[in-house]
Amino acid sequence: MQAPPASAPRALDAGARDRVRSSRGAVEEKGEKRVILGVGTDILNMQRLHDILEAESDSFVRKVFTAREREQAAESPDPVSYYATRFSGKEAVFKCFGIHGNVRLSEIEILDGETGQPYVTLSGQLNGIAADKGIRSVLISLSCENEYAVAFAVAQD
Amino acid sequence: MELKEEILKKIIERASQIFKKPPEEFKGETKFVDDLKAKSVNYVQIITILADTYDVDIPFMEFRRKKTLGEAAAYVAQLLGE
């Protein structure tokens, strides 16, 4: 199959239409320019998490995941993939903040929205750190295939 | 036994299970990343057992900055007020 020419129109979902990357690297959201303040990525071998969940599920899960994440995992057809992508996502968010300190993984909540697109909610000290850094939102993309879960996060003002 | 040493013993016990090596192979100077190739989930596994044993809240990001098992033990002892 021949690749479409670069100038071919592409279908954009509603979110994409509102967030069009400008030529200067900023992201325009509904006409407002958003500056990227950090990016982070992570990859996780899902077998590693599978083994942990089998051996020490309760304590580990309570330390890492919020109550709402645990609820969504329980409803998921594949809880291991759900937890693996969230864990990877939390790591990616930490990396895009570029911080150390008294922060807990459960201060990052990554839930599936109504359309399945994940979204990030910060709490606790991380919320304050975000405010200090001028971060107003964090975008996240999660994926998994066979052995690995991957995540990519973008912090923006 | 001093609290820091007790915590180190607990970390070594857990590390021995996680990394499938005899406890004798672990010391305070053992490095998480260079020697054990530890991943994020492994730090959480260690934090979980320490938090449950000592009823202490251990911040993940700060714990993960510790290069050696001994530094991690000292940090947790410090959290416990030693």
> Closest chain A residue to B64 measured between Cα atoms?
A100
Does the residue A9 lie in any domain?
no
Could you list the pLDDT tens digit for every one of the 157 residues in chain A?
444 443 333 333 444 444 434 334 455 556 677 899 999 999 999 998 888 888 766 788 988 999 999 999 999 999 999 999 999 999 999 999 887 677 889 999 999 999 989 999 999 989 989 999 999 999 999 999 989 999 999 999 9
Looking up tokens 């990001």, which residue turns up?
B61
CA distance B57 to chain A (A): 9
Look up tokens 């066979």; give the residue.
A146
Q: How many Cβ atoms are within 10 Å of A139's Cβ, its own excluded?
A: 21
In-domain check, residue A114: yes
Q: Is residue A55 part of a domain?
A: yes
Identify the CATH number of the domain in which residue A138 sits.
3.90.470.20
What are the angstrom distances between the C-alpha of A154 and each of A40, A97, B38? Answer: 7, 9, 25
Q: Please report whether residue A44 resides in a domain.
A: yes
Assess if residue A49 is contained within a domain.
yes
The structure's pTM equals 0.80
CATH number of the domain that residue B35 is part of: 1.10.1200.10
> How many distinct structural domains can be found in chain A?
1
> How many Å apart are CA A65 and CA A72, to the nearest integer?
11
Q: Is the ipTM of this complex over 0.95?
A: no
Q: Long-range pairs for B20-23 at CB < 8 Å and ≥24 separation? A: none
Q: What is the side-by-side strand order in the sheet with A148-156?
A: A36-45, A148-156, A137-145
Min Cα separation A156/chain B (Å):
21
Number of domains in chain B: 1
Do residues B46 and B53 lie in contact, with contact meaning Cβ atoms separated by under 8 Å?
no
What pLDDT does A10 receive? 36
In a domain, A15, yes or no: no
Host domain of residue A139: 35-156
Q: Which domain holds residue B44?
A: 3-79
Within-domain flag for A3: no
pLDDT < 70 positions in chain B: 1, 82
pLDDT of residue A33: 79
